[in-house]
Amino acid sequence: MENTNWILQFFGRLHPLLVHFPIGLLVVALVLELLTLGGKRKGLREGINWMVYIGAGVAACAALFGWFLKTQDEYSGDLVDNHQYTGIATAVLAILTAIILSRTLKKAPLNLKAYRFMLVTTVVLLSIAGHLGANLTHGEDYLTEILPGNEKGYSNLESSALLTELKGASELSELQKDKLNLEVRGLFAHKCYQCHSENKQKGGLVLEHKEGVFKGGTSGLAVVPGQPEESEIYKRIILPANDKKVMPTKGKLLTPDEIALIKLWIEDGAHWSDKAVKVFPEAPLALTQPALPTVTEETHPVDKIVSVYFKDKKVDWNAVVDDRKFIKRAYMDVVGLLPKPTAVNAFIASTNPKKRELLIDELLNDSENYTQNWLSFWNDLLRNDYSGTGFITRGRFQITTWLYNTLKQNKSYDQVVSELMNPSKASEGFIKGIQWRGVVNSSQRTEMQAAQNIGQSLMGVNVKCASCHNSFISNLTLDQAYGFASIFAEKPLELNRCDKPIGKIAKVNFLYPELGSVEGETLKERLLKLSEVMTSKENGRLYRTITNRIWERLIGRGIIEPVDEMDNTPWNAELLDWLASDFIDSGTDLKHLIKRIMTSKAYQLPTVSYKTAEAIKQDYVFKGPVLRRLSAEQFSDAISQVIAPVYVAVAYNPNEEKMPAQRIWHHQKDLTNTVLPLPGKRYFRKTFQLKKENIQDASILISVDDAYKLFINGKPVGTGDNWTDVGKYNVANLLTKGTNCIAVEGDNKGKIGNPASILFAMKVAFKDDSVFNLYSDETWLSTDVAPKANWADLDFEAKRWKKVKNYRTSNWAKLLDFTFKDHQKTFARASLVKQHPFLKALGRPNREIVTTTREEQATLLQALELTNGGFFNGILKQGAKKWLNTYGNDSRLIVDTLYQELLGRAPSKEEQNIVMASLGEQPSTAQVQDVFWSVLMSPEFQFIN
């Protein structure tokens, strides 16, 4: 820096001032130019010309001054280069534009297009150059740092504060030495690891650990204790910006404070602290157990804390929402269903001052529906599903039955976590992970999946990065990730960095060793210890994480976001820790936590609107809940409740009546292989013996994909054309002692091969209380050749008929109605249904990996499914028929009922008029269907307000 010329430096520093002229002039020139398009506003021409000329001139000056600035002041790196190139290019283009313009003006307007093109290009380039320049001045992350998830990991303020402290001291204490070393190592991490870490060893130098730092690289010793002038690091960081050897080569140079810190550290003997360097902010493990503020005007603990917060943020309490809104929220949040109009009216009419709390209690006590609503949240979180990869070669296990019962019994969270960490057969699926056939990347071995999933789901920490290499986004190291994964391994694990073994065996360890040892001889022993360590009350992180998740569910935005990154700063730490402590005090009762939040005024505030998704993430100030869209399951269930059942079959039926009936069809082959049944009619027969006479009762259940005609002993019994609609027949009078025959004509519709099947069960009860059962199975016979007319008769000889094939159940779910038990026809809750294109389109994730937030914004594919999806429109049509049957053609009644049931309110006069006009005097199925659709698509229905 000695060879600087102050005049050049002065001009150089004028560059940032000067650049704004061409920006303004040329951009405005372009805008005016656009206004003259098509020969309009000819009067602007003269002005535009001057703007271009002056703009071009100043651009050239600015570029020149910029070059001074770069050479005279300390600037280097790609960013500066890019800014320089684009800047110079802008100046050149601007001048060319001006030249073409002046020529165009002299000659015919032949070159107008070329001039305009040049002008646009110049302005685009100018914007790029300007943006790069702004990045230089304000930092490359100036714009992006405010985006969600980009909180600053490291601040310079700390280093200068530390420097001031240390400079004041005559001799450094041990503590100060530690601090200095940790600060220097933090600097290494942020400024040097990018090129000098185990992952990328430029010049053979690794600055990640003691050995590497003192070993140095190919250029020599990086650090010579006591002698900064001999230390390669120091020599490099003080070089001028334009020196080829200056470090760092990427990004900004170190500040004088940072350089001074490193110098001081080396001078002081380059002490190396034994403490691990914590580069990234980390939340304390233990809960702070904050005392409640002594706010007298609020009674609810949450509101007391929020009151103080509001005062601080100058937010006023809004009035809580009315009963109508509250009851919809409460129903949706606890049981995931719409309240019936009678329930809404009774709730509004009630004068009980505690009615909201009573309602919450009542809903939480409805264990069945509470379970079927919250099951989706837990399935997402624990990556549990009824179908998915890994099942084919037994590389994956469901935990559905365990999870369902867990929720239904409202097991304490401690017990839930214990049973997941130290599982029985029923709950082992979570830590077992998903094993695809074959060899997998070492960072995806099932033990590592366990570490990653426990980290993410239960502890809110990202282990994924560290399972491949030391994390770039947290303090976690490869060692730690492998130590954690080793808990679940039968044999010791060798560390792999980026899938390459590094010859080091992992030492069993928990992510947070301060919580206790998880070592043990056997896997079982380690899992037991892990379950104890995880649920030890010092592990505040476990409770904070679930508390934050539940809060996010109910309010629409977590106290910490993203909800998987629990080291981030909460918008109110007291609130989070108080709720988590209260949760522990309740015996980790999840329903208590839900109730605690829902009874607060904070939950009952009106929703707050945000213009963009980003606005919810950044600079967040809590003012009330966020508008939430109905989940795929809630949407589907609401339609099932009001319009017509969306699903009637489930993947998991908690009240299943086990029957050995198989889904059979004519065996369709291609050479020797089984293929999907081709379209067309197939004929099925089964003969059987009844040994007794006195039949008390005989009933049949049948479900056929796609259509059937059922015969017994040649007599027609019934038909059906919808497999979800279980045919139930009483056939006592058709059966006789001796041989009987069941015959089914099945029809597979469609144009190409597609799933087809018969599911059949018959139960014959005799007067002596004995029972005879018959089920569809592989003893049935079938043919694809149209047989003679008497094919269904008992005495027909089924020559050349072949045995049927069991097509298994995966394409059909378990029909709730396929039971001999008395039961009320109802719909299947979407949470119990196997992933389905309709639910998928509405945002239910394929649970291949843990999912903790679903997509919030509506997508085109989703809208398409709702607008023309055959499945959805079929349900609406079915519903319309049902409604017309129930309400006749009373348009008024249809409108009023629909609004009450879907929106929980009466239609306004205007709405009533619009809908009735659309329905007309004699509403058709199509008209009713379209009214359903129009109301279902409305934001009022689709959002929890």
Single out the residue of 17, 161, 849, 893 in contact with other proteins (rule: CB under 8 A). 849
Single out the residue of 74, 657, 856, 886 in contact with other proteins (rule: CB under 8 A). 856
Please list every residue from 515 through 574 that binds other proteins, using CB under 8 A: 564
Closer of 476 and 761 to other proteins (Cβ): 476
In sequence order, the 6+-apart residues with CB closer than 8 A to the CB of 86 are 125, 128, 129, 132
Question: Which span (222-230, 523-531, 819-827, 839-847) binds other proteins, by CB under 8 A?
Answer: 839-847
Question: Which span (215-223, 289-297, 531-539, 840-848) binds other proteins, by CB under 8 A?
Answer: 840-848
Please give the single-letter amino acid code of residue 602: A
Question: Which span (219-227, 459-467, 693-701, 773-781) binds other proteins, by CB under 8 A?
Answer: 459-467
Single out the residue of 285, 440, 678, 707 in contact with other proteins (rule: CB under 8 A). 440
Distance separating alpha carbons of residues 151 and 396, to the nearest angstrom:
37
First to last CA, the chain: 63
867 lines the binding site for other proteins (CB under 8 A): yes
441 lines the binding site for other proteins (CB under 8 A): yes
Single out the residue of 779, 846, 888, 920 in contact with other proteins (rule: CB under 8 A). 846
Q: Is the dihedral of CA 549, 552, 557, 558 positive or negative?
A: negative
Tokens standing for residue 689: 């013996």
- The continuous run of DSSP H or E covering 196 comes out as strand 196-197
Peptide bond preceding 562: is omega within 30 degrees of 0, i.e. cis? Answer: yes
Distance separating alpha carbons of residues 732 and 716, to the nearest angstrom:
14
Count of helices and strands (H, E) across the chain:
34, 22
Single out the residue of 135, 406, 462, 631 in contact with other proteins (rule: CB under 8 A). 462
Single out the residue of 464, 529, 557, 709 in contact with other proteins (rule: CB under 8 A). 464
Single out the residue of 853, 873, 889, 897 in contact with other proteins (rule: CB under 8 A). 873
Q: Is 678 exposed, middle or buried (0-12, 13-18, 19+ CB in 10 A)?
A: middle
Please list every residue from 772 through 811 that binds other proteins, using CB under 8 A: 810-811
Single out the residue of 357, 656, 670, 797 in contact with other proteins (rule: CB under 8 A). 670
14 lines the binding site for other proteins (CB under 8 A): no
Single out the residue of 143, 502, 505, 861 in contact with other proteins (rule: CB under 8 A). 861
Question: Which span (157-165, 463-471, 660-668, 725-733) binds other proteins, by CB under 8 A?
Answer: 463-471
Answer yes or no: are the C-beta atoms of 261 and 184 closer than 8 Å: yes
In sequence order, the 6+-apart residues with CB closer than 8 A to the CB of 76 are 241, 242, 246, 249, 253
128 lines the binding site for other proteins (CB under 8 A): yes
Single out the residue of 8, 27, 64, 89 in contact with other proteins (rule: CB under 8 A). 89
Closer of 293 and 869 to other proteins (Cβ): 869
Strand-strand pairing, 673-674 and 669-670 = antiparallel
Task: Count CB atoms within 10 A of the CB of residue 898.
Answer: 21
Distance separating alpha carbons of residues 547 and 554, to the nearest angstrom:
11
Closer of 815 and 876 to other proteins (Cβ): 876
Please list every residue from 234 through 263 that binds other proteins, using CB under 8 A: 244
* Least distance between other proteins and beta carbon 505 (Å): 23
β partners of residue 782: 684, 802
- The continuous run of DSSP H or E covering 257 comes out as helix 256-267
Residue 743 CA neighbour count, 13 Å, CB half = 24
* Least distance between other proteins and beta carbon 711 (Å): 29
DSSP code, position 561: S
Please list every residue from 362 through 391 that binds other proteins, using CB under 8 A: 387-389, 391
Distance separating alpha carbons of residues 732 and 743, to the nearest angstrom:
16
Closer of 669 and 767 to other proteins (Cβ): 669
86 lines the binding site for other proteins (CB under 8 A): yes
Please list every residue from 17 through 56 that binds other proteins, using CB under 8 A: 34, 37
133 lines the binding site for other proteins (CB under 8 A): no
Q: Which residues of 791-813 are buried (b: 16+ CB within 10 A; e: fewer)?
A: bbbbebebeebeebbbbeeeebb
Pick the closest to residue 593 from 551, 533, 629 (CA basis): 551
Pick the closest to residue 664 from 819, 778, 742 (CA basis): 778
Answer yes or no: are the C-beta atoms of 468 and 495 closer than 8 Å: no
Closer of 391 and 688 to other proteins (Cβ): 391
942 lines the binding site for other proteins (CB under 8 A): yes
Closer of 10 and 871 to other proteins (Cβ): 871
Question: Which span (227-235, 344-352, 374-382, 907-915) binds other proteins, by CB under 8 A?
Answer: 907-915
Distance separating alpha carbons of residues 12 and 67, to the nearest angstrom:
7
Closer of 301 and 624 to other proteins (Cβ): 624
Answer yes or no: are the C-beta atoms of 744 and 704 closer than 8 Å: yes
81 lines the binding site for other proteins (CB under 8 A): yes
In sequence order, the 6+-apart residues with CB closer than 8 A to the CB of 472 are 193, 465
612 lines the binding site for other proteins (CB under 8 A): yes
Single out the residue of 560, 792, 866, 916 in contact with other proteins (rule: CB under 8 A). 866
Angle at 605 between CA 601 and CA 611, to 5 degrees: 150
Please list every residue from 333 through 362 that binds other proteins, using CB under 8 A: none
Answer yes or no: are the C-beta atoms of 840 and 830 closer than 8 Å: no
Single out the residue of 356, 526, 629, 686 in contact with other proteins (rule: CB under 8 A). 629
Tokens standing for residue 552: 């996010």
Single out the residue of 739, 779, 859, 886 in contact with other proteins (rule: CB under 8 A). 859
β partners of residue 746: 682, 708
Pick the closest to residue 443 from 487, 417, 478, 394 (CA basis): 478
Tokens standing for residue 235: 């020599």
DSSP code per residue over 453-478: HIIIIII----TGGGTSS-SSSS--H
x/- map, 920-939, other proteins, by CB under 8 A: ------x---xx-xxx-xxx
Closer of 277 and 676 to other proteins (Cβ): 676
Please list every residue from 671 through 710 that binds other proteins, using CB under 8 A: 671-673, 675-676
Location of structure tokens 């006591």: 226
Single out the residue of 610, 688, 772, 820 in contact with other proteins (rule: CB under 8 A). 610
How many residues bind to other proteins according to rule CB under 8 A?
Answer: 105
Question: Which span (178-186, 420-428, 582-590, 666-674) binds other proteins, by CB under 8 A?
Answer: 666-674
Closer of 528 and 678 to other proteins (Cβ): 678
Question: Which span (53-61, 365-373, 668-676, 706-714) binds other proteins, by CB under 8 A?
Answer: 668-676
x/- map, 747-766, other proteins, by CB under 8 A: ----xx-xx-----------
436 lines the binding site for other proteins (CB under 8 A): yes
Closer of 405 and 674 to other proteins (Cβ): 674
* Least distance between other proteins and beta carbon 750 (Å): 9
Peptide bond preceding 284: is omega within 30 degrees of 0, i.e. cis? Answer: no
